[in-house]
Amino acid sequence: MKDTCEGRYEAVEIRAIKVHGSSNDFYLIDEMSRELAITEEERSALSLAVCKRTGEDGADGILFVQASNTADAKMRVFNADGTEASMCGNGLRCVGRYVSEKLGKDELIIETMKADLAVKREPEIYQDIPTFRVEISPVLKSTKALPMNTEKDEIIQERLPFLDDELIFTTLSVPNPHLVSIVSQEVLASDKQEKIAKYVNGENEWFPDGVNVSFINVMSDKDIFVRTYERGVGFTNACGTAMSASSLVTKWERSLEDEVLLNVYNPGGMVKCQVHDMPEKTWIDLIGNATYEYKQTITVDLKHREVQFGNKEIHEEEVAAYHAFVNHVKEIVGAI
């Protein structure tokens, strides 16, 4: 945005699509033909202003889709608090769908902060649910990658008494940072996750950049439930990178096969995670919905932190199809 002659910013109109992956929702903004003429600070402020939950408006983050020199497109992801993250699994499925339909190809590569990742349209996970597979990589065990202030090189299924006396934790970067614990239903129902997550995402000596915190409840050798308190957001309906990290931790803890396919249930629905834990390389494929909720023009005047949301052009059929899927998932979870 440019300062006008009176020193006021022009309000700028942004065409956005509200999208979600497993009900983890984002505004998708296409900058492939022309990037928004905003500074990095304004990009962060834009995310903070637009994602603020007020009534039906707001989101967990913004997905900026930009041109790339190395891939079909580039994804940048900003959390609701204005911080930029290196990766977003649920968001990558939505960006993958958008670019797939824009370029007319079902297999593509999307550039992210740390890697160019494979994205592929998949058979529908449920009736009328656009479904995509995205590569979650790199997977790093080193605590330095999070970063975490500890002498330990890795934390794999270990107690962390400074967080909790009983729970066993694993830290992983995929490549954004995750702290994961397999817990009982009882612990899942307690306030432990919120207390731990608020501590490690506030002033603390261990995780200087914060960390996404997930609790896993193992339902069977092919079904898990994951709830995540996301860095820069708070509790969300789902976190794609967290569900991927949780699948790998479950594979290790339950000694499952190297390429186990897990159903990962979450408060926003269900995805599948195909673990690839090979001697030469470890990565996870995250498979799930990429749903468009509505198109909307958002008018933003950053100088005055004013945001106006225009009328919604709702994708009624997609919204209805996803509701039907969630009801189907609830029946399955109830039966497990």
Ligand X SMILES: N[C@H](CCC[C@H](N)C(=O)O)C(=O)O
One of 18, 20, 89, 130 touching ligand X (CB under 6 A): 89
240 touches ligand X (CB under 6 A): yes
The footprint of ligand X on residues 3-42 (CB under 6 A) is 24
241 binds ligand X (CB under 6 A): yes
Q: Which of 51, 94, 239, 273 is the catalytic position?
A: 239
For residue 137, state whether it binds ligand X (rule: CB under 6 A): no
Asked if 129 interacts with ligand X (CB under 6 A), we say: no
Measured from the CB atom, the residue of 9 and 21 that comes closer to ligand X is 21
Q: Of these, 182, 196, 213, 239, which contacts ligand X (CB under 6 A)?
A: 239
Active site residue 94: no
Q: Which stretch binds ligand X (CB under 6 A): 43-51, 236-244, 255-263, 289-297?
A: 236-244
112 binding ligand X? (CB under 6 A)? no
For the chain, give the secondary structure using H, E and C.
CCECCCCCECCEEEEEEEEEECCEEEEEEECCCCCCCCCHHHHHHHHHHHHCCECCECCCEEEEEECCCCCCEEEEEEECCCCEECCCHHHHHHHHHHHHHHHCCCEEEEECCCCEEEEEEECCCCCCCCEEEEEECCCECEHHHCCCCCCCCECCCEECCCCCCCCEEEEEECCCEEEEEECCHHHHHCCHHHHHHHHHCCCCCCCCCCCEEEEEEECCCCEEEEEEEECCCEECCCCHHHHHHHHHHHHHHCCCCCCCEEEEEECCEEEEEEEEECCCCEEEEEEEECEEEEEEEEEEEHHHCEEEECCCEECHHHHHHHHHHHHHHHHHHHHC
Considering the rule CB under 6 A, would residue 201 count as an interface residue with ligand X? no
Please say if 51 is a catalytic residue.
Answer: no
Site string for ligand X, 58-77 (x = CB under 6 A): -------------------x
The least distance separating ligand X from the CB of residue 263, rounded to whole angstroms, comes to 17
- For ligand X, what does the binding mask look like between residues 212 and 231, x meaning CB under 6 A? x-----------------xx
Supply the residues annotated as catalytic. 88, 239
Q: Which residues bind ligand X (CB under 6 A)?
A: 24, 77, 79, 85, 88-91, 176, 212, 230-233, 239-241
